[in-house]
Amino acid sequence: MSEYQNYPFKLYIQDIFRAKNTEHKYVYEMFGSKFKNVMIQGVVTSVYNSTNTTTNFELTDATGTVQAYYDLTKNNSNLSENMLKDLNENFEERSRSGDENLCTMAFLMERLLRKNKFDFFEGNYLSVIGDIFVDDKNTRMISAYECKINNIERDVIWMEELRYLYEKFYLWSKEP
């Protein structure tokens, strides 16, 4: 399965549904390239079926809408409970000793603790990296393993970046 690219393929949401299946279940093909992971971006239009570690959401861009499933425990940057406990104990120890870097450490701790929680809601602009999968109703969805909040300015830049990629690389004729 090494014939597909190892980095996420940047796509408009509509192209998740246009991509062709390959002989491998989770590998798709489009514009002459085979890929497993995709990167998409849009606005969260719905969040549902949320628990402490999983959620489903709907992401929309100017071309379409896709359902996504996100499991925090599958996130590569997720921290284990033991690691968080150790960091917290170390932070408490440093705060009692009057460490001069306490403000920086407090900021970093807050950011680390936020990583283990869902911090996006309806209306947020979101960048998602994940795999395309087909649910039991034969509908393509995204299994997300990284979600990052963006803003409207980044969304506009994203759409311009995709337009450039499509014109210069994806749709470019490979024949002379």
pLDDT at position 79 is 67
Q: Based on the domain organization, do 48 and 69 belong to the same domain?
A: yes
- Provide the number of structural domains found in the chain: 2
Q: What local confidence, expressed as pLDDT, does residue 174 receive? A: 57
What's residue 29's pLDDT?
A: 95
Q: Which domain covers residue 49, as residue numbers? A: 9-75+120-170
Q: What does the alpha-carbon distance between residue 140 and residue 33 come to, in Å, rounded to a whole number?
A: 19
CATH number at residue 66: 2.40.50.140
Give the pLDDT score at 90.
83
How far is residue 38's CA from residue 138's CA, in Å, rounded to a whole number? 19
Intervals of the chain under pLDDT 50 = 1, 176
Shared domain check, 14 and 95: no
Three-state SS for 14-46 is HHHHHCEECCCCCCEEECCEEECEEEEEEEEEE
Identify the pLDDT of residue 72.
84
Asked if residue 87 and residue 69 are part of one domain, the reply reads: no
pLDDT value of residue 91: 80
